[in-house]
Amino acid sequence: MSFLKVSNLTKEYANHCVVNDISFSIEQGEFISLLGPSGCGKSTTLNMIAGLESPSGGEIHLGTNNITHLPPGKRGLSMVFQSYALFPHLTVKENILFGLKARRVDKQEQIKRLKHAIELVGLGEHIHKKPSQLSGGQCQRVALARSIASQAPLCLMDEPLSNLDTKLRNEMRNELRQLQKSLGLTLVYVTHDQIEAMSMADKIILLNQGQVEQQGTPESFYQQPESTFVARFIGHPPMNLIPHGEHVIGIRPEHIELNSAGHAATINSCDYQGATTVINADIVSGPYQGAKDIQLSLMGKHHLSTGALLNILWPEQEQHLFSKTTGKRLAGV
Ligand code: ADP
Ligand code: MG
């Protein structure tokens, strides 16, 4: 039996279906990322698990309990929002203890949990400050500490790092991942950022227009995208898709190499990015003649001028194959 099981979950607003028959399950201690573009139904799905929105159809089970219609406070879960949702008039300490007081947790136990949570997120010196005296990153840590102190068996997070600058976001990604593992938290983490999902999650559930497009490990998303949508969503630069007869050929920019035996191509642009150089070119010979804006990512620095010719090739085993009509994966690596 799974720790959390979401079955055929659906949400309609005024006859418009924003979450459409979603099913997935999560094991205890897993880090799951709900990934997808803006507006695909991630927050709505998370809010239904939290009990903040009621489903139009489907069921949610936590262990053997059907929690579909339980009020949020009775579900045994904690939630971290993108906006932190801290009380502005309460100190860090009071914010963290708020839920424990409301649930009348024993005083000594409250202090023990507070100390532990504060230590984990490194907020010791700020404990008597109010949110307005803290940076965005520190507020985020308070929200995390509150979630940790609740010791809820399931933790839900909705884009919790999106308000932070890049450096802090990278640090927090690592901290959060370590924390989740060391505490054995079961975590559902919503993000639109494929890199965040790929680097943090044990399992990714990718949503597209309210439906599950693919679910599985980060490796399976990279190696076996089940549709052209997934192929383009995961990886940077995105996978090249080349229409070819009944099919669409997929090839990742990092799998294309310069090879004198390859297809001739003219260069549209050449962008040096530090570790790699990304080249955009149109294929002008061979079976893929006419394919435009093919991107290749080469290691190191390459000086190639616009309009110049080069020859490109990729190993056949790195090629992905999709149906032109359905966009679904047919074969390939
Ligand atoms: P995401 O979190 O993936 O960006 P949301 O779950 O917030 O997406 O929203 C999914 C879709 O549902 C969007 O098109 C949004 O406009 C719509 N939606 C969300 N909440 C409501 C609501 N209360 N009433 C009507 N439409 C809503
Ligand atoms: Mg959202």
Range of the domain at 252: 228-323
Nearest ligand 1 atom to the CA of 19 is: 10
Distance CA 294, CA 283 (A): 8
Distance CA 7, CA 67 (A): 12
Q: Are residues 241 and 105 in the same domain?
A: no
CA angle centred on 101, ends 98 and 107, rounded to 5°:
125
- Distance (Å) of CA 195 to CA 145, 185, 192, 238: 24, 21, 9, 12
Question: What residues contact residue 264 under an 8 Å CB cut-off, 6+ apart?
Answer: 283, 284, 285, 286, 309, 310, 311
For residue 279, what are its two tokens? 């080249």
- Position 80 scores a pLDDT of 86
Ligand 1: list residues with CB < 6 Å.
Answer: 13, 18, 36, 38-44
Q: What is the CATH number of the domain that holds 83?
A: 3.40.50.300
Q: Which ligand is nearest to the CA of 82?
A: 2
Residue type, 320: H
CA-nearest residue for atom 22, ligand 1, is 13
* Boundary of a domain, candidates 223, 248, 282: 223
Distance CA 217, CA 209 (A): 21
In contact, 197 and 35? CB cutoff 8 Å: yes
CA of 71 to the centre of ligand 1 (A): 21
Distance CA 318, CA 271 (A): 24
* Boundary of a domain, candidates 189, 206, 223: 223
- Position 333 scores a pLDDT of 45
- Position 133 scores a pLDDT of 95
Q: Which ligand is nearest to the CA of 18?
A: 1
Mean pLDDT by 10 residues, the chain (333 residues): 96 96 97 98 97 97 95 88 86 94 92 91 92 89 88 90 81 85 92 95 98 98 97 96 96 97 97 96 96 97 94 96 97 55
* Boundary of a domain, candidates 193, 223, 253: 223
Distance CA 53, CA 80 (A): 16
Nearest ligand 1 atom to the CA of 13 is: 25
Say which DSSP state 51 is in: T
Give the residue among 71, 47, 70, 75 at the shortest CA–CA distance from 154. Answer: 75
For residue 105, what are its two tokens? 């947790």
Q: Which ligand is nearest to the CA of 158?
A: 2
- Position 166 scores a pLDDT of 85
Q: Are residues 98 and 159 in the same domain?
A: yes
State pTM to two decimals.
0.91
